[in-house]
Structure formats: C-alpha cells, structure tokens
Amino acid sequence: MLKAEWRKYELKFLETAITSRSQMEVKETFFVRVWDDSAPEISGFGECALFRGLSAEDNANYERLLSETCRHPEIMPEVSSIRFGLETALADLRNGGKQIISDTPFTHGERNITINGLIWMGDKSTMQRRIEEKLAKGFRCIKLKIGGINFEEELELLHFIRSSFSPEALELRLDANGAFSHGNALERLKRLSDFSIHSIEQPIRQGQAEKMTQICESSPIPIALDEELIGFRSDKDKRLMLDSIRPQFIILKPALCGGFREAEKWIAEAEKRAIGWWATSALESNVGLNAIAQWVSTYNLSMPQGLGTGALYANNVTSPLRQEKDYIRFEPTARFENLAGIFQQTAK
C-alpha cells in the first residue's frame, strides 16, 4: 500500500529577490515523500511548490489539502502544485528512489540542457554587476526582470549590453511580470525593440485577455505568456485562450499550470498553432528543479530553458543537478543528500 507524508521548508534567498510584484527574502515550499509499505526503505521525493500570491490554490486550506492527498496518494489531486509534487514523487518511486523522473540521455549524463542567465531586479548598479557576472560565465542568453526601477535606467542597461554583444552573440529576454499598463505598454515595447529583444514575458498583468490580444497583435517584440496560464482547468479553455490571444510564446511552469500532464497539454496545443514554448522554474528548490529539468529533457529542445535558479538559495537541497557555464547537467550517481533530515522533523 502506498504511504505519503509532507514537510514544510523555508528556502532562504542569498540576495533579496525583487520583481515588479514583490520582494522576497524567503520562499516557503513543501516536500512530499511517497513509499510502499512493502518496501519502506525506498522513497520517492517531490516538491509541492506553492507560490504565495501567485498559485491559484494559495489559500488557508492548502496544508489540509496536502494532508488529504498524503492519506490517499494513489488519487491524483486537482491542485496544481500538489499534483506537481505527487507526480514527481511517484515517478521517483517507480524508478527505485534514485531521483530519476524521466529516463533520457540527460539523466544518463550524456546530454546537457542550455539555460538562460536570470538577472533579478535591483538598482541600476546592482543589475549591471549581475549582468557582467553572467556574461563573464559565458551565458549566450540572459533574461532581465524589468519594471522595478526607472524605465530610462532599464533602457540604459540594455544599451550597455548591446554595446558589447550583438543579437547574434547574445539573446536578450525580458520579463515584465505585468509591470506595464495597457496605456503605456506599446510605447514601451517600441522603445525596447531598439535592442533586438527575443521576447518579453507578461507585459501586462494576467486576466486582461482583450488587452493582451491587442498587444500581441501590435507589439514589435514577441510576447510570451507566463502567469496567464495559471488557473485553467479544461482543455477547451486552454484552446480558447490560445486562439483568442495568439501569443508568440508560452512559458511552462508545471507547478503553476496544472502539473506535468497539463503542461504537456499546453505544449501540444501551442505546437498545433506554431506557438513556441520553453520551461522555467517557479522558484522551486532543487527537488522541483530536478524534476522539471528531467521532464523537459524528454523533448527535442531548440532554445535555452529557464532552469538556472538552483543557486538562488543559501539552504537549497543538494541534488544531482550541476550548473556549469550556460548549461545544467545531471550527475547520475548523486542523490538528495539532506532530504532525509528534513523528513525526520515533526510534521507541521
């Protein structure tokens, strides 16, 4: 018989993480362990990566829902982040508790995944320092979070980058996290387009389908939908949204968009419409990040993925993932070394 338990864990950022929505010093997450009572020495681990203020299931009942899921782990829940964690843990258990979610060349250590370098918001000098650090490491694609400082200063940062790196040498992605208004979005997008931007995520806040459609039709920069994918339950609604807004890209965060199975549906519908996609982290620990990396390695990837978040935390779980230059690789002999200690703690 399947058994499961969960533990709450607080991830601590090395530096304050700033977006146009919020500032974070810590991020709460929840680990889940699954085992069969006929072989209790083998466990599968997953991460129920609730994102406060963003996940559709962020409410006072979350921990109760998590406990109910652990009483019946054979029943896949509807709750996006819990489904993501349970899918991961069950896959790990099926593969012998060796942190293998998907059997691919990546998990055999034979293939790497190229990633973008993420530049968090900060004041201009801090952001410039972070940009220089990523470029020195050899990143050929960087993503800047914008909308948190003066727009003119953000343009100056982009000019700084393009003065040294051509579009052929360096791909530039932007993430506005909904920072623009419908009134100023197109004017700002026009000015940003001077710097040969690959794409910009979520220029206005989600839930404004008509306005987002207008922006996707008129923007000189390709638009990528991110938060816009949160909360969709039916396949019909997914199709209607993509047909209505017609973005150039969608960005998959499995913990936020329904788990891996639902993320695969998003990809299938996007590809039918020639809409590009890539996967990215929703600030999971290395447990969730490892799962996303393995899942996305089952696809034939054509562009950098947003999976370079493993080094954000001072107390991350050690994992088989290794980041080198502008890629991540999987170390087949490595394990989650400190998860057992977390599960020895008293349940919340």
Question: Which residues are identified as catalytic?
Answer: 145, 253
Report d(CA 337, CA 86) in Å as an integer. Answer: 20
Residue 196's contacts (CB-CB under 8 Å, 6 or more residues apart) are 162, 167, 172
Lateral strand order in the sheet of 321-324: 113-114, 327-330, 321-324
Q: Using an 8 Å Cβ cutoff, are 91 and 97 in contact?
A: no
The SS3 assignment for 176 reads coil
β-pairing verdict for 23-36 and 43-48: antiparallel
In whole angstroms, how large is the CA radius of gyration of the chain? 20
Q: Using an 8 Å Cβ cutoff, are 124 and 157 in contact?
A: yes
Q: Phi, psi (5° rounding) for residue 260? A: -65, -40
Q: What is the DSSP letter of 179?
A: B
Report d(CA 201, CA 195) in Å as an integer. Answer: 16
N- to C-terminal Cα distance for the chain?
A: 24
Torsion sign across C-alpha atoms 153, 158, 160, 163: negative
Report d(CA 109, CA 18) in Å as an integer. Answer: 34
Q: CA geometry: angle at 285 spanning 232 and 80, to 5°?
A: 20
Q: Using an 8 Å Cβ cutoff, are 328 and 293 in contact?
A: yes
Report d(CA 4, CA 232) in Å as an integer. Answer: 27
Report d(CA 60, CA 77) in Å as an integer. Answer: 17
CB neighbours of residue 233 within 10 Å: 12
